[in-house]
């Protein structure tokens, strides 16, 4: 592919990704779709673990929470950076000011997602044959959820927290089907009755 075509392709990918982020209803009901939201977080962490290990990071996962995958792979192309600065950054500044407790992690993930979309078709990325780790998280946001790392582990919304696995452990966990139909089916499954 000619270098100019690659640049234009990256720009178009970033345009589509920005449009997707702008369409998210960030203040939707965090209590809905709880089962599928946890599945999406786990699928994000599972996919990220494969990248983390493929790039030779430590098995204990000391830097797993702060791992910036796109930055480890390729610099952000100039055209993509200009689009992000012109459209995404002003929107993010207006929106996240209203919910300061969510600023850092959501903002960081969205920036990584935009960087990822600009480089994911590059040979330096496709040679690994690994899927996008960001797709599950963007779907989580689209379903009205968020997660962040807190003192008690992984915080999914405001009511659920749990301890995740190490990157090496994630290499042996189940793959979650993140098709919308499969996620809806997860949420429709009967929940165990509480023990009295």
Q: Is 52 within 8 Å of 167 (Cβ atoms)?
A: yes
Instruction: Identify the pLDDT of residue 6.
Output: 63
Per-residue pLDDT tens over the stretch 28-43: 666 788 889 889 999 9
Separation CA 145–CA 156 (nearest Å): 7
Token pair for residue 76?
A: 């952000």
Q: Is 179 within 8 Å of 36 (Cβ atoms)?
A: no
**Averaging pLDDT over each range in 15-29, 49-63, 110-124, which range is the top one?**
110-124
Per-residue pLDDT tens over the stretch 135-190: 999 999 998 888 888 776 787 765 566 777 888 899 899 899 999 999 999 999 87
Mean pLDDT along residues 51-76? 89
Say yes or no to pLDDT of 75 above 90: yes
Instruction: Identify the pLDDT of residue 68.
Output: 95
In 3-state terms, what secondary structure has residue 58?
A: coil
Per-residue pLDDT tens over the stretch 85-101: 999 999 988 887 766 55
* pTM recorded for the entire structure: 0.87
Separation CA 132–CA 172 (nearest Å): 18
Instruction: Identify the pLDDT of residue 194.
Output: 44
CA distances from 189 to 14, 33, 53 (A): 36, 11, 33
Residue 175: CB atoms within 10 A of its CB come to 10
Separation CA 102–CA 192 (nearest Å): 31
Going by C-alpha positions, the residue among 167, 109, 163 that lies closest to residue 139 is 109
């Amino acid at each position: 592919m000619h270098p100019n075509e690659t640049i234009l392709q990256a720009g178009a990918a970033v345009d589509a990704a920005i449009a997707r982020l702008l369409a998210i209803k960030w203040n939707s009901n965090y209590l809905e779709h709880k089962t599928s939201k946890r599945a999406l977080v786990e699928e994000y962490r599972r996919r990220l673990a494969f990248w983390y290990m493929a790039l030779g990071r430590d098995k204990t996962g000391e830097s797993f929470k702060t791992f910036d995958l796109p930055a480890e792979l390729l610099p952000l192309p100039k055209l993509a950076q200009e689009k992000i600065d012109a459209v995404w950054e002003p929107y993010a500044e207006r929106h996240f000011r209203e919910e300061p407790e969510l600023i850092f992690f959501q903002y960081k993930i969205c920036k990584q997602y935009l960087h990822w979309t600009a480089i994911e078709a590059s040979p330096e990325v496709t040679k690994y044959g690994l899927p996008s780790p960001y797709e599950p998280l963007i779907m989580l946001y689209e379903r009205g959820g968020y997660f962040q790392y807190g003192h008690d582990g992984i915080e999914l919304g405001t009511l659920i927290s749990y301890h995740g696995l190490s990157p090496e452990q994630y290499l042996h966990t189940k793959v979650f089907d993140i098709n919308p139909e499969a996620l809806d089916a997860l949420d429709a499954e009967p929940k165990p009755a509480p023990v009295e």
